Amino acid sequence: MAEPTAAPTARERVPFMQRLLDNPFLLLFLGVTSPAVLYLLWGVMELSQIPIAR
Amino acid sequence: MATSAAQAGMIGALAARFRSCPVTGLQIDLAAERLIKANAIAAVVFLAIGGVFGLLVALTRWPAVHLLSSDMFYLVLTAHGLDVLLLWIIFFEIAVLYFASAILLNSRLAAPRLGWVAFALMLIGGLLTNVAVLQGDSSVMFTSYVPMQASPNFYLGLILFAVGALIGCCIFLGTLVIAKDEQTYEGSIPLVTFGALTACIIAFFTLASGAVILIPTWLWSLGYISHIDTVMYKLVWWGMGHSSQQINVSAHVAIWYLIAAVTVGAKPLSEKVSRGAFLMYILFLQLASAHHMLVEPGLSSEWKVFNTSYAMYLAVLGSMIHGMTVPGAIEAAQRKNGYVNGAFEWLRKAPWNNPAFAGMFLSLVLFGFLGGISGVVLGTEQINIMMHNTLYVPGHFHATVVTGTTLAFMAVTYLVLPLIFQREVAFPKLARIQPYLFAIGAGGISLFMMGAGTLGVSRRHWDITFSDATLAFDYPAAAFLMLGLNGLFAILATVGGALYVIIAVWTILFGRRVTAENALAALGPMPPRLQVHTAVAEYGSAGTWHLPGTYILISVFFVSFVLYYFVNWKYLSELWPMG
Amino acid sequence: MAIQPPETRIWWNEPVARGELVWIVIAFLWGVIMFFMMIWWHLEGRQNLSTEVYRIAPDVFVSRTEAFTETYQVGEEGESGVPLVRPPPGSDVYLLGRLWEWWPVLELERGQTYRLHLSSADWQHGLSLQPVNINVQVHPGIEHVLTITPTTSGVFGIVCNEFCGAGHHQMTGRIRVVDAAAGG
C-alpha cells in the first residue's frame, strides 16, 4: 500500500470498492466461489435429483 | 529497483538480475524475461502445428476437395482443438501473466525455478496428449465426452498441462505479493495487470474444474473406476472447456488496453469503469459454461436461464463496457495527438501500418460484431435449440478465439519481439499486411461456418452428403457453397498464420538487435504525439469528453446486436412447437 | 496509461463522464430485456425444451423401444430394412439413438402432439432434426421426454450431430409427417 508514503491524502479513506478491487486474493475467492456455487454445485444438485424411470 | 529490494533483505531479490528497458525505463527481471520467451515460443510452435491441422479440417469439409479419410479427419480435428484451443492459447497466456506481473510492476518474478517446472509440466503434458492423439486411439474430440474413451495418456497429458498452468497462475499471484511488499509500484496495479489478474482468477476455476473431472476420467480409462455419469461429466468438463475461453477474453481485453496504450498513448477513460467491467468478468463470466448445457436433459430451466445469462447478462455488460472504453480511449488519445477533425479523423489516421495496432483494432471489431453478438444469441436458452452442435458453434468460437484472442496475441507479439526478445521485427512489409490477411481469413471462416450452421449442418461431421448412410438426407445446396467458401478463407487464414509464425521465428533467430537508439522505432509506426509519459493529464474529468466517433461505432454495434437477436427469435417461432 | 498504476491514489471517487454512464445504463437495460425475453418465452412462447427427464438403464430403454416398434410397425422404410412405425395420434413414441442409427422411422400425424421418449443405447448422440433444425443432446442412461407437435408435413431427416466414433457420419434416421386424411 502506498499509504505510509502519500502523506497529504493518506487520511482520506480508500473506498470499499477500491479496496476490494485492490485485493487479489479476495477477488480470487469471489471469482472461484461464484461459479462453483451457482454453476457447479447447483448443477450437480439438480443432476443428482433426476428421478428413476417407472 | 534491485537496491531497494536488497534493503528489504530479500534473498530472492538479491539473486534476481535486471536490465533496464530503453523504451519504458522499467527494470526487467531477466529470469522473468527468459520464462516469457520460453512460453511464447512454445505457444507459437503449437499454433503452427494446430494451424496446419486446422487447414486439413477445412479442406476436408470443402465438399469439392474432401481431403482426408474419415478416421484421419476425426483424429486431426481432435488434435486441432487441443493444439490451438488449449496449448497455443494457454502457453501464450502464461507468458502474458509473467509480463503483466513482473515486467509491468517493475518487479522480480516470484519463484522463477518453479516457473520452469510449470513450463516443463505443460510441455510434457501437451506432448503426451498430442502423441496419444496421433497414435490414433484417442480420436475423441477436444471434449472427450464419456463413455467414449481415449487412451489414459490423453487424460494424463491434460492433467499435467493443467497442473503446470496452475503453478504459472500461482507464480503470477506470488509476483503481485512480492511487488507490493517490495513497493516496486505505487497505488493500485495497472489496468492491464488487473485484466491479467482477471484471467488468472478465471484460470483457477478453469483448471480446478479440469482436475476435478479429468482425474477420475483418467482413473476410469485405467479401469479403476467403473462408471462416469455422462451429464455430470459434461457439466464439470465445461467448467473447464468454456471458462478456458473466458481466460482468453480477459487476457485479450487486457492486451487491447496494452496495445492501445503503447501505440497511441491511450489511457483508460475511467479506471473505475474499466476495472468494474473486469469485476463483472470475475464474478459472472464463468457461468456461461452453461452455454453448452442448454439442450441437455436433467437441468432445470431456472438453472439454464440464470447461468446462460451470466446472472442477467452482467458479464455481457462488462464486455459492452470494454467495447466502448477501448475505442473511446483510443479516440481520446488520438484527439490529444492532434486528430480532432470530424467524427473519424482519429480512426482514419490511426497507425494502421503498425501491425500491433491494426491487429488489435481488427480483433476488437471482429470479436465484438462476430463473436460477441453470435455468442449471446447462441447462448439464449431457447434459440440454442436451433443451433446446438451445428457448425454455428465452431463459427461462433472461431470469431471469439481466432479473430478475437489469436489476433490480439499476434498483434501483441509485434511489441513483445522488440521489448522482450529485443529484436527488430523481420520482414516489416509482410508484418504490415499479416493482421489483415489473418483477420479476413479467420473472419470468413467464422462467418461461413455460422452460415452453414444456420442451415442446420452438423459440426464434427466428415461427410455432409451422407453417401454411406442407410437413410439418405440432403442439406440445402447453399450449405455446400458455404463450406467451399470456408475452405477458401481457411487457406487465406493459413497464409496469414504462416506469415506470423515465419516472421516471429525469423525475428527471434536472425532479427537485428534492438538498442537504446532504435528501441522506440522498433515498436512500429506510431502517431507523432506528445511523449508517452506526458500524453494526457486528466481523463475521467468531463472536460476531455467528446468522442463522437466512438458513439457512432457503438450505436452501429448496438443496432446490429438488437436486430440479429430478434431475427433469431423470429426464426425460433417458426419451429415445431415443443415443450 | 493502462500499463501504469492509476495516477491518483483514490481513483474510485473520480466522476464518470455522462457518455460512458449512458452507455452503461443502455447495456444494462438491454441485458435485463434479454434475460426476461427467455422467461417470457417460457410463459408465452411455444418452443421450449421439456425438462421431463428420468434415469433409465440403457437396455430397458432399448426393450421399451423394441416393444413400441413391434406394436405399431406398419412396414419398412423403403429398402433400408428399418421398421416404419405409425403410432396412434397423440401417443407416447420412442426413438433410440445407437451406433450408428436413429431407430425406428416414425410416421407422425401433422398437428398432433406426441410425447417423444428419447435416449441412447451406448454413447452420447445429438438428435438433429432437419430441415426444421431442432437439436437435442441424447445421453445413455437418461430418458428425455419431449412434447412435440409436427406442424409441417413431409419427410424429415435426423442427423447425429454429436461425434460418436468411426461411423458418426453414417448415423441418420427419419421422421415422416403425414396429413390426417392420408395418415388414416
The C-alpha atoms of residue C1 and residue B191 are separated, in whole angstroms, by 8
**Which residue in C has a C-alpha nearest to residue B303's C-alpha?**
C51
Mean pLDDT score, B484-492:
97
Beta-carbon separation of A14 and C12 below 8 A: yes
The DSSP bridge pattern shows strands C125-130 and C92-98 to be: unpaired
Q: How many other β-carbons are positioned within 10 Å of the β-carbon of residue B360?
A: 31
The pLDDT-based confidence of B25 (bands split at 50, 70, 90) is: confident
Largest CA distance in chain C: 80
For residue A10, which residues of chain B lie inside 8 Å, CB to CB?
none
Q: Which residue of C4, C8, C10 is the best one to mutate when testing the A interface, meaning the one whose CB has the most A CBs within 10 A?
A: C10
Across the interface, do B235 and A44 touch by the CB < 8 Å criterion? yes
Compute the distance between CA of residue B48 and CA of residue B95 in angstroms, rounded to an integer.
Answer: 17
Interval B416-437: pLDDT, tens: 999 999 999 999 999 999 999 9
Task: Give C126→chain B minimum CA distance, Å.
Answer: 8
Q: B365 CB contacts (<8 Å, ≥6 apart)?
A: none
List subunits contacting chain A, requiring 3 or more Cβ pairs under 8 Å: B, C
A-chain residues near C61 (CB < 8 A) = 53
Nearest chain A residue to C53 by CA distance is: A50
For chain C, how many helices (H) and strands (E)? 3, 12
Give pLDDT tens digits for B165-179: 999 999 999 999 999
Distance (Å, rounded) from C-alpha B180 to C-alpha B532? 25
Q: Could you say which of A15, A17, A51 has the minimum Cβ distance to residue C54? A: A51
Position B305, amino acid: V
Inform me whether the pLDDT recorded for B533 exceeds 50: no
Cis preceding-peptide flag for B528 (omega within 30 of 0)? no
- What is the model's pLDDT at position B531? 44
Task: State how far residue C78 is from chain A, nearest Cα, in angstroms.
Answer: 34
Q: Where are the domains of chain B?
A: 26-189, 197-336, 350-516
What is the pLDDT, as a whole number, of residue B544? 56
Closest CA to B461 of C158, C165, C173, C97: C165
CA angle B167, B172, B173 (to 5 degrees): 95
Q: Is the pLDDT of residue B224 over 50?
A: yes
Half-sphere exposure of C141 (CA within 13 A, CB side): 12
Predicted confidence band at B338 (pLDDT cuts at 50, 70, 90)?
A: confident
pLDDT band at B84 (very low <50, low <70, confident <90, very high): very high
Average pLDDT for B129-139: 95
Q: Look up residue C20 and give its three cell numbers.
A: 460512458
Give the pLDDT confidence score for residue B536 in this predicted structure: 42
The reply to whether residue C135 touches residue B388, judged by beta carbons under 8 angstroms, is yes
Find the largest Cα–Cα distance for chain A: 74
Kindly determine whether residue B472 and residue C172, on different chains, have CB atoms separated by under 8 Å.
yes
Assess whether the previous peptide bond of C83 is cis (omega < 30° from 0). Answer: no
Which fold does the domain B26-189 belong to in CATH? Four Helix Bundle (Hemerythrin (Met), subunit A) (1.20.120)
pLDDT, chain B, mean: 92
Q: Write down how long chain C is.
A: 184
The residue type of B294 is: L
Per-residue confidence (pLDDT) for residue B218, from 0 to 100: 97
List of chain C residues whose C-beta atoms are within 8 Å of the C-beta of residue B272: 11-12, 14, 16
- Rounded to two decimals, the pTM is 0.94
Confidence of residue B14 (pLDDT cuts 50, 70, 90): low
Is residue B531 a contact partner of residue B354, using CB atoms and an 8 Å limit? no
The answer to whether residues B149 and C122 touch, using CB atoms and an 8 Å cutoff, is no
- The answer to whether the CB atoms of A24 and B176 lie below 8 A apart is yes
Q: Give the separation between CA B33 and CA C182, rounded to whole angstroms.
A: 76
* B300-314, B530-544, C99-113: least confident range: B530-544
What cell numbers appear for B4 in the block? 531497494
Cβ distance of B190 and C105 shorter than 8 Å: no
Q: What would the mean pLDDT of B468-496 be, rounded to a whole number? A: 95
| Cβ atoms of residues A21 and B202 within 8 Å | no
- Judge whether C107 is closer than 8 Å to chain B, CB to CB: no
Closest residue on chain B to A44 (Cα) = B232
Longest dimension (CA), chain B: 78
Give the residue from B522, B432, B508, B404 showing the smallest Cα distance to B42: B508
Identify whether the C-beta of residue B471 lies closer than 8 Å to the C-beta of residue C173.
yes
Q: Which among B189, B235, B297 is the nearest to A43, CB-wise? A: B235
pLDDT confidence band for C73 (50 / 70 / 90)? very high
Q: Answer yes or no: are the C-beta atoms of B169 and B204 closer than 8 Å.
A: yes
Task: Give the Å distances, CA to CA, from C60 to B195, B302, B389, C121.
Answer: 52, 30, 27, 9
- Which chain B residue's Cα is nearest to A32? B205
DSSP for B493-540, please give it: HHHHHHHHHHHHHHHHHHPPBP-TTTTTGGG------S-GGGS-S-TT
Q: How many Å apart are CA B115 and CA B33, to the nearest integer?
A: 11
Q: CB of C173 within 8 Å of any CB in chain B? A: yes
The closest of B262, B247, B272 to B169, measured between CA atoms, is B247
pLDDT bracket for residue B545 (50, 70, 90): low
Cβ B578–C126 below 8 Å, yes or no? no
Q: Please answer yes or no on whether C148 and B70 come within 8 Å at the CB atom.
A: no
State the cell numbers at B178. 512480492
ipTM value, please give it: 0.95
Q: What percent of chain C has pLDDT over 70?
A: 98
Q: Average pLDDT for residues B393-404, to the nearest whole number? A: 97
Q: Which of residues 361-400 of B touch C (CB under 8 A)?
A: 376, 380-382, 385-390
Q: How confident is the model at residue B11 (pLDDT cuts 50, 70, 90)?
A: low
Exposure string of B160-198, with b = 16+ CB inside 10 Å and e = fewer, is bbbbbbbbbbbbbbebbebbbebbbbebbbbbbbbbbbb
Q: Which residue do the cell numbers 538479491 mark?
A: B14
Strands C52-55 and B18-20: unpaired
Amino acid at B298: G
> Mutation test of the interface with chain A: which of B279, B285, B306, choosing the one with the most A Cβ atoms within 10 A?
B279
Q: Which residues pair with C176 in a beta bridge?
A: C107, C155
- Distance of residue A29 Cα from the nearest chain C Cα, in angstroms: 22
Burial C25-55 (b: 16+ CB within 10 A, else e): ebbbebbeebbebbeebeeebebbbbbebbb
Task: Tell if the CB–CB gap between C30 and B558 is shorter than 8 Å.
Answer: yes
Total beta-carbon pairs less than 8 A apart between chain A and chain C = 33
Residue C156 pairs in a beta bridge with C175
Domain over C53-183 is classified CATH 2.60.40.420: yes
What is the DSSP-derived secondary structure letter of residue B514? P
Share of chain B above pLDDT 70, in %: 94
- Cβ contact, residue pair B299, C39, below 8 Å: no
- Return d(Cα B374, Cα B164) in angstroms, integer: 33
Torsions phi, psi of C53, nearest 5?
Answer: -140, 140
A1-17 pLDDT tens trace: 444 444 445 567 899 99
pLDDT above 50 for A23: yes
* Residues of chain A contacting residue C12, judged by C-beta atoms under 8 Å apart: 14-15, 17-18, 21
The answer to whether the Cβ–Cβ distance between C10 and A51 falls below 8 Å is: no
CB B125 within 8 A of CB B90: no
- Per DSSP bridges, beta strands C172-178 and C105-109 are parallel
Whether B9 shows a pLDDT value over 60: the answer reads: no
The ranges assigned to domains in chain C are: 17-44, 53-183
Average pLDDT of B392-397?
97
Q: Would you state the cell numbers that stand for residue A51, as one nine-digit string?
A: 428421478
Which residues of chain B lie closer than 8 angstroms to A39, CB-CB?
Answer: 239, 286-287, 289-290, 307
According to DSSP, residue A13 is labeled: P
* Nearest Cα residue to B400 out of B285, B243, B293, B249: B249
Mutation choice for C interface testing from A11, A17, A47, A50 by most C CBs within 10 A: A50
Judged by CB atoms closer than 8 Å, whether chains meet at B471 and C172 is answered as yes
- Alpha helix segments (H runs only) across C11-117: 18-44, 58-72
Cis peptide before C40 (omega within 30 of 0): no
Name the residue among B92, B90, B100, B107 with its Cα closest to residue B37: B92
CB within 8 A of C28, min separation 6: which ones? B317
B268/B460 Cα distance (integer angstroms): 41
CA dist B502 to B44, B153, B360, B440, Å? 10, 32, 20, 19
